[in-house]
Amino acid sequence: MTPIILDMDPGIDDAVALSIALTNPEIDIKLLTSVAGNVSVDKTTINLLKLTTFFKQTQVPVARGAAAPLKKAFVDASYIHGASGMPGYEFPTVTTQALPTDAVSAMAKVLSEAPKPMTIVATGSYTNIALLIQNHPELISQIKEFVLMGGSLSGGNVSSVAEFNIFTDPDAAAVVFKSGIPIVMIGLDVTLKALLSLDTIDAVANIGEAGNMLHKLMTAYGDSEPGGKPMHDVNTICYLLNPEFYTTKDYWVDVITDGPAAGATVADTQNRWSNGKINAKVAINIDTQAFEKWFIEQIPVMNQYCEGAI
């Protein structure tokens, strides 16, 4: 099993990613942390607890994270993910609570006790992990890599150049990309190709209670492209388990923190200013058929864990 810390802002595509991560036998989630992003941090925290309850994985600790970006004002994406962040399905009553400690302190504890460096997967804004880097530099060596959903080399989804997670807290993203910690950047260059067709989403409804739940969430999801719906954050979990699905290139990536290009991730594709230095492995293509097939295969496994499984 691969031990990870999973930092999220659920959000529908985060919820789908977490459903896989909580039930896949190859992944060992040591800590779940919430952050403000798709909706407020209070809502993202309760959404993490809803999913750990649904899948009977309440032993996985949940810690509440940052309520706002490092510097800029917080603006959510409830117009895409609904007011709650996970609309459309009536989840079981949550009977657990988040840890009494904040996300950064909880991350620091898990890392300091880990026998070897760990992977941190982040599918929301990077506020928590930037604060971890700033407040606990002594633990940088305990982070094996960041696997990040975010960024784009080919245009944005909240501006002409910026992807949502980076745009939400570009100052935090700049800290992360300058940290020296290995980064896998999984951005719009691949997530807008890794679509679930509407036929697949309809078919999922009939694959047990987990499929029913996912179908209801994905049907309520306001993010659509010609040919289907992108489950952006699912790609982080898919990459962990199936890196061969992805084509990557090593680049130096800078983050623009202000002005009209705030949130842009600029790769030195022509080696003009980085002097050959590299700070990110950037996913640039994906085997879309393998992705969709793999996704469908996860749902029967989920049904072994969830409430009311068929």
Q: Around 169, how many Cα atoms within 13 Å sit in the side-chain half-sphere?
A: 28
Question: Catalytic amino acids?
Answer: 232
| pLDDT-above-90 percentage for the chain | 92
- β-partners of residue 6 are 32, 121
What global pTM score does this model have? 0.96
Nearest CA-CA partner of 69 in 177, 169, 173, 176: 169
| pLDDT given at position 310 | 37
Span of 45-49, 74-78, 105-109 with lowest mean pLDDT: 74-78
What number of other Cβ atoms are within 10 A of residue 90's Cβ? 7
Are 179 and 51 in contact, with CB atoms under 8 Å apart? no
Q: What does the mean pLDDT of the chain come to?
A: 95
Q: State the pLDDT confidence band at 92, using cuts at 50, 70 and 90.
A: confident
- Summarize pLDDT for 191-229 with one digit per residue, the tens: 999 999 999 999 999 999 999 999 999 999 878 888 899
| pLDDT given at position 79 | 81
Question: For 178-203, what is the mean pLDDT?
Answer: 96
| pLDDT given at position 309 | 44
| pLDDT given at position 81 | 86
Question: For 42-58, what is the mean pLDDT?
Answer: 96
